[in-house]
């Protein structure tokens, strides 16, 4: 499928490379499309989003909704938006305490199909999950068909079905997003980003 | 050792039974000491705390600090306080977003040795952790000796050393406490409370 990745930081580049390796057609949307070093064509966010079946927001979470507003409601209508972002302040605190950028994005763009996933780990784990053994990737979203498309993309990244934990509707994105302080604390204690959590039951 | 458990709800009862089984001397502190059905003597919170080496706050997190204020600064001075609580509103939201009851408790009682642990799972998992296989219990606190006492108690509950994840100082309690929305979301998705997360690295 054709995937527009909005954002050309380390997360967007890592996911783009992995999707290209899995046979997908990737285009980047960026406010600075002229920069080099991206693994796929780069254009404006609006043109990239308009051309794609799925739009992935690999942006700072606090900037994700305003970036989509610049893309436009009409471009987003009916499209799947996979939000992998976390909204934190420059100090690392939650920018939307007791809420989530995922839920706010769905509220702001009711005609898009927002799915939250992949926001709970380092990008090197997103694209090489089984190097750690079995761990968990959460999925939240209101539209089951859109979640199934995202789950198929997670499989393409190497996440076994048994590792894909469907939390429910987009209101459950508050859980993974509020995990981010624990991610940061664990990162400091471990001293390296290659870790993840596994739900054991 | 002598452990005063403040609170006679399901968490306090489960932990009291497990500490008694491990050979510890348990006393409960309660605002309603006359009620029956507790596995150890029940007295007032102040008398229980004064008699013990370690004070465990098995209370609603939003009530933990005010309960300790009623106990008194002089009783708490020099004592280990093991806080297992989560501070949530009646709607289940974080009562202290971007902060933690653990850190606030240490700030309010600078002469006590506050350790945060066991706040991230159902009480049936706190006291029978290996039934799930290897999973993680977090520990946060400023005083290493106090953390070592708590780690020994965790071992008494059945937590192997390898499962005890030391996050660092009490400021890291914000991580486990902000995990609680994800705990609730997972609980709803699983439909049963017997689960936990394991840090895999």
Q: DSSP string spanning A113-145? A: EEEEESTTS-HHHHTSGGGGSS--EEEEES-HH
Structure tokens at A154: 């997670």
Angle between helices A144-157 and A10-21 (to 10 degrees): 80
Task: Report helix, strand or coil for A31.
Answer: coil
Q: pLDDT tier at B100 (50, 70, 90 boundaries)?
A: very high
Query: For residues A141 and A147, is the Cβ–Cβ distance under 8 A?
Result: yes
**Within its chain, how far is the Cα of B6 from the centroid?**
10
The alpha helices in B34-178, defined as continuous H runs, are: 45-50, 61-71, 73-76, 101-108, 123-126, 144-157, 174-178
Sheet containing B164-168: order of strands: B42-43, B25-29, B2-6, B54-57, B80-83, B113-117, B137-141, B164-168
ipTM above 0.95? yes
Give mean pLDDT, residues B53-70: 96
Of A174, A180, A201, the CB nearest to B195: A201
Ramachandran class of A34: left when φ > 0, alpha when ψ lies in -120 to 50, beta otherwise:
alpha
Interface contact B186-A168, CB threshold 8 A: no
Return per-residue pLDDT of chain A as tens, 201 residues.
999 999 999 999 999 999 999 999 999 999 888 887 888 999 999 999 999 999 999 999 999 999 999 999 999 999 999 999 999 999 999 999 999 999 999 999 999 999 999 999 999 999 999 999 999 999 999 999 999 999 999 999 999 999 999 999 999 999 999 999 999 999 999 999 999 999 999
**For strand A2-6 and strand A42-43, is the pairing parallel, antiparallel, or unpaired?**
unpaired
pLDDT at B143 over 90: yes
Residue bearing tokens 């994105």: A173
Whole-number pLDDT of residue A34: 82
Q: CB of A136 within 8 A of CB of A167?
A: no
Q: Identify the closest residue of chain A to B92 by CA–CA distance.
A: A98
> How crowded is residue A153: how many other Cβ atoms within 10 Å of its Cβ?
24
Residues 6+ apart with CB under 8 A from A108: A65, A68, A69
The size of the A-B interface in CB pairs under 8 A is 111
CA B13 and chain centroid, separation = 12
pLDDT at A36: 75
Which residue on chain A is closest to B187 by alpha carbon?
A167
Confidence of residue B31 (pLDDT cuts 50, 70, 90): confident
Decide if B154 contacts B137 (C-beta within 8 A): yes
Name every chain B residue with its beta carbon within 8 A of the beta carbon of A190: 201
pLDDT > 80? residue B75: yes
Contacting residues of A for B180, CB less than 8 Å apart: 178
**Residue A39 CB contacts under 8 Å (≥ 6 apart), including other chains:** A13, A16, A17, A20, A26
Q: Which residues make beta-bridge pairs with B138?
A: B165
DSSP state of A196: E
- Which residue, among A193, A192, A6, A181, has the nearest Cα to A91 in the 3D structure? A181
**What's residue B144's pLDDT?**
98
Minimum CA–CA partner of A125 in chain B: B201
Domains in chain A, please, with CATH? 2-190 (3.40.50.720)
Which of A95, A42, A46 minimizes the C-alpha distance to A69? A46
- Tell me which residue in A166, A167, A200 faces B196 most closely, judged by beta carbons: A200
Contact check, Cβ <8 Å, A197/B136: yes
Closest CA to B166 of B201, B138, B126: B138
């Amino acid at each position: 499928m054709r995937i527009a990745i909005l954002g050309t930081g380390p997360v967007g580049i890592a996911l783009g490379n992995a999707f290209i390796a899995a046979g997908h057609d990737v285009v980047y949307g960026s406010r600075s499309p002229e920069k080099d070093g991206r693994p796929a064509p780069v254009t404006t966010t609006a043109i990239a989003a308009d051309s794609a079946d799925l739009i992935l927001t690999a942006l700072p979470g606090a900037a994700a909704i305003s970036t989509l507003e610049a893309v436009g409601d009409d471009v987003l209508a009916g499209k799947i938006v996979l939000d992998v972002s976390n909204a934190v302040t420059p100090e690392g605190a939650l920018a939307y305490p007791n809420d989530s950028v995922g839920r706010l994005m769905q509220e702001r763009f009711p005609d898009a199909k927002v799915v939250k996933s992949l926001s709970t780990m380092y990008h090197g784990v997103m694209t090489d999950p089984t190097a750690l053994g079995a761990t968990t990737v959460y999925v939240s979203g209101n539209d089951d068909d859109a979640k199934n498309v995202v789950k198929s993309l997670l499989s393409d990244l190497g996440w076994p079905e048994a590792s894909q934990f469907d939390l429910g509707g987009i209101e459950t994105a508050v859980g993974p997003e509020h995990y981010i302080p624990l991610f940061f604390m664990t990162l400091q204690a471990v001293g390296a980003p290659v870790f993840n959590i596994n739900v054991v039951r």
